[in-house]
């Protein structure tokens, strides 16, 4: 991976005739190392409305995420909990609930992790990929094979 990146950088410099560090007016600089670490807006699959803000952090070389904020929560329930969850997550408040864990970098995506759907309490295998220069996160939850699953797109909180 690193070898390919170095070759790509060298080829780009040779073909463009520019020198490293040279910038051009009106051309945005793209970070060399994009990462999913940060805050993300999640959306309801049916309505398309923003449902929560999830924060993704790196711990010991793996990514994990938790719900930081609920957007437009039920006013009758000031502390909603994961009632359908099992194990350690059962009955835990949604705010602060770990919903992503154990994602490891694999070239241009993060794989091998798990994602919890608090709506049904089920845990799925998960892969995530950055898109649109790191502004959009493709989140794929699945059982068994990746083709048997569901994809959501989360947007970075700027």
Tell me how many degrees the CA angle 19-24-28 measures, rounded to the nearest 5. 110
Give me the CATH number covering residue 112.
2.40.128.520
Tell me how many degrees the CA angle 84-67-76 measures, rounded to the nearest 5. 60
pLDDT over 70 for what percent of the chain?
Answer: 79
Closest of 150, 77, 72, 63 to residue 113, by C-alpha = 63
Please check the confidence at residue 29 and state whether its pLDDT lies above 60.
no
CA atoms within 13 A on the CB side of 65: 30
Mean pLDDT of the region 74-99: 95
Cβ 71 vs Cβ 53: under 8 Å: yes
Please check the confidence at residue 4 and state whether its pLDDT lies above 70.
no
Into how many domains does the chain fold? 1
Q: Supply the pTM of this predicted model.
A: 0.77
Site of tokens 């990146």 = 5
CA atoms within 13 A on the CB side of 25: 0
State the pLDDT at residue 54: 98
Residue 82 lies in a domain: yes
Q: In the structure, what pLDDT confidence band is assigned to residue 26 with cuts at 50, 70 and 90?
A: very low
Please check the confidence at residue 69 and state whether its pLDDT lies above 90.
yes
Which residue range is the domain that position 62 belongs to?
36-156
Residue 14 lies in a domain: no
Question: CA 30 → CA 23, 41, 64, 96, 136, distances in Å?
Answer: 11, 22, 24, 32, 14
Mean pLDDT of the region 80-96: 96
Residue 25 lies in a domain: no
Residue 19 lies in a domain: no
């Amino acid at each position: 991976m690193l070898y390919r990146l170095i070759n790509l950088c060298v080829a780009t410099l040779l073909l463009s005739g520019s020198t490293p560090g040279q910038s051009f007016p009106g051309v945005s600089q793209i970070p060399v190392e994009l990462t999913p670490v940060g805050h993300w807006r999640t959306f309801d699959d049916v309505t398309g409305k923003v449902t929560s803000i999830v924060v993704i952090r790196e711990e010991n070389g793996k990514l994990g995420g938790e719900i930081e904020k609920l957007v437009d929560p039920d006013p009758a329930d000031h502390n909603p909990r994961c009632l359908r969850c099992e194990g350690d997550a059962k009955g835990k408040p949604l705010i602060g609930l770990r919903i992503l864990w154990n994602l490891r970098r694999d070239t241009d995506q993060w794989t091998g992790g798990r994602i919890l759907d608090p709506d049904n309490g089920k845990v799925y295998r998960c892969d995530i990929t950055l898109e649109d220069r790191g502004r959009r996160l493709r989140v794929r939850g699945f059982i068994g094979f990746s083709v048997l699953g569901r994809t959501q797109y989360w947007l970075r909180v700027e």
